[in-house]
Structure 1
Amino acid sequence: MKYTDLTGIKPKKKCCRSKPRCKRCPLVLHKVHKAELTGVRGKALEKVFKRARKS
């Protein structure tokens, strides 16, 4: 998934807490959005996305 796609995803209403977390999980998208606000871009943002899904 490209980092440009990560910014436009709408989160689900409730987290299912499965492992790995789904791509639309509110927690995952919150962590990606937070990283984006701190200035993370490109491949580094994709790494944040992958790491957030593992947690």
Structure 2
Amino acid sequence: MKPSEFATLKAKKKCCRSKPRCKRCPLVLHKVHKAELSGIRGKELEKVFKRARKA
């Protein structure tokens, strides 16, 4: 998935808390959005996404 597509994803209503977290998990999307606002782009944003899914 391209980093530009993370912003267009719609979060699920409730998190299932499975490991790894799903791509549409509210927590994952929140962490990615927060990183994007702080100026992280490209491959660094992908790393944030992968780290958030492991959490």
Sort the TM-score into its range (normalised by shorter chain). over 0.9
| TM-superposed deviation, 1:42 | 0.4
Cα deviation per residue 1:12-46 (whole Å; 9 max; x = unaligned)?
00000000000000000000000000000000000
The number of residue pairs the alignment matches comes to 55
Q: Runs of 4 or more off by more than 6 Å in structure 1? A: none
Q: Distance in 1 between matches of 2:41 and 2:8?
A: 14
- The RMSD of aligned alpha carbons is 0.3
Q: TM-score, normalised by structure 2?
A: 0.98
Query: Counterpart in 1 of 2:13?
Result: 13
The AA in structure 2 aligned to 1:30 is H
TM-score by length of 1: 0.98
Q: Distance in 2 between matches of 1:54 and 1:27?
A: 11
